[in-house]
Amino acid sequence: MAIGLIIIGDEILSGKRTDRHFSAAIGMLKKRGMQLDWAEYLSDDPQKITATLRRTFATGDMVFSCGGIGATPDDHTRRCAARALDVPLVLHPEAREKILERIRDFALQHGRPVDYDAPDNLQRLRMGEFPEGAAIILNPVNKIPGFSVGTHYFFPGFPEMAHPMMEWVLDTYHQADFFRIEHVEKSVTVYGAVEAMMTPMMEEIEREFQQIRVFSLPHIGMPGGRSYVELGVKGASAEVDEAFARLQEGLRQIHAEYEINP
């Protein structure tokens, strides 16, 4: 099962807000011995959101989706998820109770009578309309929940809400996936080398070691400094040592100057 991240919102793509979900998701997964396989950024376009979710629902991937689950006109994710699944939106009974709690708490905090039928409160209840068959994800910040369908998990766009909800999902539903595969990474810094000279060796290592990926990260030196490449192997621990030894042997054969990274 691959792990994916969908980040939705015009404000991210326009630069009005800086995305904080991507780096947070990588950190949460790494702490649990997991890693992100793919990520997509989407605008608030219902057709694009629906098409993307229809595709990802068909994969069986674990997918975290952040943004667009409110009830304003630019929030489309709940409706698009329902369309992608060909099911109706329905008011989830547990979500309804949590939202009513939020309405009651808000009124008490501000010394106001509770009016559940006020237009703004009826609008808030729409945030509990999820695709039929969905489960709720508790929101520790303001009680207005997210939702899940299978291994797709939908969170608000606010990082302060989405990130603890994401951690709760991982710890509640996916502990069996923690540290299932031990991924190891080893690398060297190669000075003054041209990547094209190292490419045949990199391709040979990947052909020989099926559980290994070779990576190459070039760095352009500052004025007066030396350019260099971080070159390494990563993957299943059983093969990393042998693949790394093969990489070093290949570098010696082309007389490359390198040092092993800590």
Token pair in block for residue 225: 């400094």
Query: pLDDT digits over 224-243, tens only?
Result: 678 899 999 998 888 999 99
Burial call 48-82: b when 16+ CB within 10 Å, e when fewer: ebbebbeebbeeebbbbbbbbbbeeeebbbbbbbb
Q: Is the pLDDT of residue 183 over 80?
A: no
In which band, very low, low, confident or very high, does the pLDDT at 211 lie, cut at 50, 70 and 90?
A: confident
Q: Which amino acid is at 117?
A: D
Domains by residue range for the chain, with CATH: 3-177 (3.40.980.10), 183-260 (3.30.70.260)
Strand 62-66 with 152-155, pairing: parallel
Q: Are 142 and 98 in contact (CB under 8 A)?
A: no
Return all residues near 91 (Cβ < 8 A) that are at least 6 apart. 125, 128, 129
Strand order in the sheet with 212-219: 212-219, 228-236, 183-191, 257-260
Mean pLDDT over all residues of the chain? 94
